[in-house]
Structure 1
Amino acid sequence: MVRPAVAADVPRICEICAAGFAASSAGLLPARVVAARTATYYDRERVVAEIGPGPAGWLGYVVAESGDSVVGAAGGSVVDRVGHLLVLYLDLDRRGLGLGTALLDHVSGQHRTSGATHQRVSVTEGNEMALPFYRRHGFEVTGHEPFGAGTDARSLVLERPL
């Protein structure tokens, strides 16, 4: 089941996203960059502030549940009719069970409702935990951009129509 996140979900959102980002970045980004990005984006205060809709088209976090446990989190925004998928992570032992698809479908619905005509996600080049998933869901690489943060890493930009 996917539902809008609530304040009580914040610790699990932070935990899931931090672990997922670390696992998907292993060997692709320096540990210092992973630690800095985790501290910035998955800090409890920040996630509390972003739990619901906010500025810059942010639509709020949604979570996937299994039983009464939060096992995944996602979130996105819509800017200029483009749906940006900014976060999608699962408990690492829950991959392959359809939960990622359920989260993506939910956020895609939010994007459509908010007027998006296509969807975009950026994935660190070489992230084989994410790339096959997005390709299965119709995303195609449309460009590259520097990852930044003082690394030579690049991100792949993937898009699909909604």
Structure 2
Amino acid sequence: MDGTTGTIGITYQAQDKLGEIVYVELPEVGAEMSQGGQWILIHSVTTFPKCRVLPTLRGGVTLEVFCPVQDASFTFHPELGPSQGCAFWPLCDECGAVESVKAVGDLFCPVSGECIEVNTALEEDASLINSSPYEDGWILKMKLSKPEELDDLMDEEAYQAFVRTEDS
């Protein structure tokens, strides 16, 4: 987070499960999105373990809002829609989808706000999500309209516990 601007991407665990990402369709700059899905807030990329190489989503950067999905080979950001998440599960808008060699999954907004920037490098090399999810593989940056929604997100410890539960 940088003030009220957050970087959004996929977690290391998510990209690891999805596999190689081959395509990304980015959302429109200026698009308004609402909170939802099972996302986590990472306060420091350096303190988040890079288990199984992957996502924290999806983003790299100093920041810190990411979505747990597996390795992705295709990432696209479709129209808005309801969440099918489970850990953090309010109704929300889709801010994209990830397609990999193993699966396709929707990405849901962790917070409400306006898309102010997209990572166009993913259009040329979607595998950046796999190789550098926290730095070069981020998906979008948002200007938060409701910063208090950050309080609804899992912290690093809760996310790791969630991942252990999912893996068992």
Q: When you count strand as a share of all residues, which structure comes out higher?
A: 1
Q: TM-score w.r.t. structure 1 length?
A: 0.27
Normalising by structure 2, we get a TM-score of: 0.26
Answer 1 or 2: which has greater helix percent.
Answer: 1
Higher relative contact order (CA 8 A, sep 6+): 2
Question: Radius of gyration: which is bigger?
Answer: 1
